[in-house]
Amino acid sequence: MEEMFEKRIPIAIVGLEQAGKTTLATRLQTGKFIQTITPTKGIDVETVEIKENLFQLFDLGGQKTLREMFWQTYVKLSQGIIFVIDSSDMSKLDEVVEWFWKCLEWNHNAPILILANKADLAHIEVDDLINKIKLDQVLQQNPQRSFRIFEVSMKKGTNLDEAIGWFSQKMMPILSQKKVRLRGIYLYLPTGIPIASHRFTSDASGEFDADMVPGFLYALDQFASGVIGPSEGLNTISTEQGYILTVKREGVMCAIVTDKESDPVTSRVIAESFLTYVESTFAKSISLLRQKGKLVFPKNLIVDFLKQEFAENVIF
């Protein structure tokens, strides 16, 4: 039987507008070149399977306002970065370099695949690009970092297998080593109605009624949407003590509270997997809850799930 919930490795696809990010994401999903019709307006999230590993691709919009709004959060959260460059457009190179180095600063560890795209058009040579980006300085920042540049054409598919092959090899489950110390998990409806929760500590946070947490997060989300604008459903609240991370799906949400030593990427993967599991197993219960306010979930839902799926990651 196919596993119902699997760990997905988060990957940020970044690059300026028109670079070919969405073209890459669609190619990875469908295996073919599909002409994109519109620029990405925010973030598109796709799950793709590459060499038996599941990757969650964050296809980020490349327009300047979108870069400023979203890139940092997603680059930080990702375990791998794909930086796409339109090598046929010399006029934007300075901007490319600037944003490339911002990404490296935001995430010192993730492997980076650089794609010099549109090799089917007249384009800058890879060696010139390497000089321009100052790629030789990447290792000064972190001698352990994996990075490589490939000249590709997303349109023709040239060199893409090689590039993705290299990248997926670098991405082999880094995940299994990462640890998370959980304080609590909260499952709730997007309207803030609690479904299930589990708390792992009896410290200060224990003074809170667990059922209040979703309502509070809902209110906070509403507040943020009002002040900043609607969010795409993934937010991390970071405090000196730790993280509160919320993941939004259509019918259900999950918040994970961890200490600050915990790996936020792994926390997010746990939350995503948990939601996938809940959605696929309890779809009926969720709609019952939404319609009739009735609760029919197994008592140890959360702990059973964690022990079965993330025993090597979660410190109980």
Ligand X SMILES: Nc1nc2c(ncn2[C@@H]2O[C@H](COP(=O)(O)OP(=O)(O)OP(=O)(O)O)[C@@H](O)[C@H]2O)c(=O)[nH]1
- Binding residues (CB under 5 A) for Mg ion: these are 21-22, 40
With binding defined as CB under 6 A, does residue 27 bind ligand X? no
Q: Is residue 146 classed exposed, middle or buried when 0-12, 13-18 and 19+ CB atoms within 10 A define those classes?
A: middle
Residue with tokens 């604008």: 229
**CB of residue 192 to ligand X, shortest distance in Å:** 33
**CB of residue 84 to Mg ion, shortest distance in Å:** 9
Residue with tokens 């008592």: 299
Strand ranges, E, within the chain: 8-14, 43-50, 53-60, 80-86, 112-117, 147-151, 180-188, 194-199, 234-238, 242-248, 253-259, 314-315
With binding defined as CB under 6 A, does residue 91 bind ligand X? no
79 binds, among ligand X, Mg ion, none (CB under 5 to 8 A by kind): none
Residues that bind ligand X (rule: CB under 6 A) add up to a total of 23
Distant-in-sequence, close-in-space partners of 82: CB < 8 Å, separation ≥ 6: 11, 12, 13, 14, 21, 24, 112, 113, 115, 167
With binding defined as CB under 6 A, does residue 232 bind ligand X? no
Can you name the residues that pair with 259 across neighbouring β-strands? 242
Residue 87 or residue 246: which is nearer to ligand X going by CB?
Answer: 87
Residue 152 or residue 271: which is nearer to Mg ion going by CB?
Answer: 152
Residues in 138-197 that interact with ligand X by CB under 6 A: 153-155
With binding defined as CB under 6 A, does residue 40 bind ligand X? yes
With binding defined as CB under 6 A, does residue 118 bind ligand X? yes
Tokens of 74: 């997603």
By CB under 6 A, name the binding residues for ligand X. 15, 17-23, 35-36, 39-40, 61-63, 84, 117-118, 120-121, 153-155
